[in-house]
């Protein structure tokens, strides 16, 4: 998804499934803990329904709303973790698996600085 979008601008936008049918409205946006980039959206799927989490990648935003490239049944069958709370790494993993997406690689620590791991034979004994 476009990473230059203010996540707050997604709130209240209509969301559409892979067939173009309206599936709900963006209720909340969840940011990646490490990067601060928008990663998940919680969609309110109806007046008496719960929120369903959808990945913002590979979804796209256009002038009509959020286009989620998954079928309605898959979206409505997503694990329910409730909204307004932090998603744990285990919950995110469940969501990635539910949607059949590759799990993101853990953010790697920066490489250690180059070090001298020995001496040249015969130098400065």
**pLDDT tens digits for the chain (125 residues)?**
555 667 888 999 999 999 999 999 999 999 988 888 999 999 998 767 788 999 999 999 999 999 999 999 999 999 989 888 899 999 999 999 999 998 765 554 444 444 443 444 455 55
- DSSP code for 76: H
Q: In the prediction, which pLDDT does 117 show?
A: 39
Q: Rounded distance, CA 37 to CA 11, Å?
A: 15
pTM metric for this prediction = 0.78
Please tell me the predicted confidence (pLDDT) of residue 103.
76
């Amino acid at each position: 998804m476009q990473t230059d979008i203010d996540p707050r601008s997604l709130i209240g936008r209509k969301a559409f499934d892979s067939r173009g049918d309206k599936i709900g409205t963006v209720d909340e946006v969840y940011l990646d803990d490490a990067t601060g980039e928008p990663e998940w959206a919680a969609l309110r799927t109806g007046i008496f329904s719960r929120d369903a989490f959808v990945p913002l990648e590979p979804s796209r935003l256009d002038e009509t709303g959020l286009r989620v490239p998954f079928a309605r049944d898959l979206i409505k069958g997503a694990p329910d973790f409730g909204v307004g709370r932090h998603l744990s790494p285990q919950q995110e993993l469940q969501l990635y698996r539910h949607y059949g997406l590759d799990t993101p690689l853990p953010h790697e620590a920066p490489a250690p600085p180059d070090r001298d791991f020995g001496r040249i034979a015969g130098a400065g004994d």
